[in-house]
Chains A and B, each alone.
Chain A
């Protein structure tokens, strides 16, 4: 799941050049803005059928945090 998620994450934000990995703090990415935020929420909904509410999203820092949150909610 991790590799697939990284690929989806990269595609969603069109991060062609940037290096990202599981420990990347996504808010620190160049060009991260409110639309990036909504695009990631929508991608997670589309691909994993999981909706992370805004308040819960605030506690998630790294890409790995997102993956763990999806896994937790899929159970």
Chain B
């Protein structure tokens, strides 16, 4: 069992930025007629998504805007930021690391620790554990956790099993060392046996980009994609999610003796409504405590937890103390859960560019 407790570090702020272009699933021809599209929307919970489309916007651009806003609202100075972690599977370049580019764009000083982490759906929770561990001894006082994905770019628009589910978003979380903060606790898990359930087969170093990479093929009846598009084995991911997510939450609460009643909000990775509601009902959590952003933004991969907090909980978290449980699960296959407290969280409205 992999658990972690971190003291003296807290989440001071969370912000999010999405591209302004909106695509509605009711208008998508691949979902069939309007009746079929409505059935899809009802079961997945995804009515629309914000997409980068052909704008050239990258994940780092969305994270950059979210970070600038947060630094300003917190009255931080960029020069005070000691570390930056960028979590994404849609980085700017094969090399260098995007966190290095962001260090300069954000005007952080040269004495800054920068690191890229490659994780998807589970990425924000893992990122939070890494940056908080890094800062727990109090030498680095302020850190930025920049997390997001533009996964729409990796989906084939002729693949109804993936395309209508995913939206794009970038987020920033401000992390600070403080002797007065409460503990954060984590549970982690990985099952690499399922790595093929969500993957892009070519373009990496195992299967290098080649002359056939862009050739479109009919993968299943009516579903067309090339080898640089991502594959999603829905049933495999579903079985995984409804089994691992509830177990991870229960083992985290059990390990640290936290009861569900002490948690104000349970923020889950926004996979799809059907799956998330199964997870919620298995855990017997009342729906009032489980916010969703799927309706407006779809599944935004690693951004989904901070985006849900920024878009759905901002007015509640802006003042007072709250205890939040987050649970994320997906590509890897990888999962993680965390419980942390926030106080007067700086949580500005979602930015659109």
Q: Known: A45-B242, A51-B243. Is A38-B234 also a contact (CB below 8 A)?
A: yes
CA distance A35 to B273 in the complex (A): 12
Whether the Cβ atoms of A53 and B274 lie closer than 8 Å is: no
Q: Mark each residue of chain A from 29 to 73: 1 if its CB lies under 8 Å from any CB of chain B, else 0.
A: 000001101100110010000011111010000000000000000
Whether the Cβ atoms of B243 and A38 lie closer than 8 Å is: no
Provide the residues of chain A in CB contact with B296, threshold 8 Å: none
Q: Chain A interface mostly helix, strand, loop or mixed?
A: helix
Whether the Cβ atoms of B235 and A41 lie closer than 8 Å is: yes
Whether the Cβ atoms of A54 and B233 lie closer than 8 Å is: yes
Whether the Cβ atoms of B236 and A54 lie closer than 8 Å is: yes
Q: Known: A45-B242, A51-B243, A52-B239. Is A38-B274 also a contact (CB below 8 A)?
A: yes
> Is B87 part of the binding interface, using a Cβ–Cβ cutoff of 8 Å?
no
Provide the residues of chain A in CB contact with B294, threshold 8 Å: none
| Least CB separation from B235: chain A residue | A54
Which listed residue (B43, B233, B238) contacts A41, Cβ 8 A?
B238
Residue in B161, B233, B234, B239 whose Cβ sees the most chain A Cβ within 10 Å: B239
Q: Mark each residue of chain B from 233 to 262: 1 if its CB lies under 8 Å from any CB of chain A, else 0.
A: 111111110110000000000000000000
> Is B263 part of the binding interface, using a Cβ–Cβ cutoff of 8 Å?
no
> Is B278 part of the binding interface, using a Cβ–Cβ cutoff of 8 Å?
yes
Provide the residues of chain A in CB contact with B243, threshold 8 Å: 45, 51
> Is B349 part of the binding interface, using a Cβ–Cβ cutoff of 8 Å?
no
> Is B9 part of the binding interface, using a Cβ–Cβ cutoff of 8 Å?
no
CA distance A73 to B238 in the complex (A): 18
Cross-chain pair count, CB within 8 angstroms: 41
A11 CB to closest chain B CB (Å) equals 16
CA distance A52 to B236 in the complex (A): 9
- The number of chain A residues touching the other chain, given as a range, is 10 to 19
Whether the Cβ atoms of A41 and B234 lie closer than 8 Å is: no
CA distance A42 to B275 in the complex (A): 9
Whether the Cβ atoms of B236 and A34 lie closer than 8 Å is: no
> Is B125 part of the binding interface, using a Cβ–Cβ cutoff of 8 Å?
no
B223 CB to closest chain A CB (Å) equals 11
| Least CB separation from B40: chain A residue | A35
B245 CB to closest chain A CB (Å) equals 12
Provide the residues of chain B in CB contact with A55, threshold 8 Å: 236
Whether the Cβ atoms of B197 and A42 lie closer than 8 Å is: no
Residues in A10-31 with C-beta less than 8 Å from chain B: none
| Least CB separation from A35: chain B residue | B43
Q: Known: A41-B239, A51-B243, A54-B239. Is A34-B234 also a contact (CB below 8 A)?
A: yes
CA distance A37 to B220 in the complex (A): 16
**Sample of 12 more A-B contacts, CB < 8 Å, known A55-B236, A57-B239:** A34-B161, A34-B234, A34-B235, A35-B43, A37-B235, A41-B242, A53-B236, A54-B234, A54-B235, A54-B237, A54-B239, A57-B235
Chain A to chain B contacts (Cβ below 8 Å), 13 pairs: A34-B235, A35-B43, A38-B234, A38-B238, A41-B238, A42-B278, A45-B242, A51-B239, A51-B243, A53-B240, A54-B197, A54-B234, A57-B239
Query: What is the interface of chain A, defined by CB distance below 8 A to chain B?
Result: 34-35, 37-38, 41-42, 45, 51-55, 57
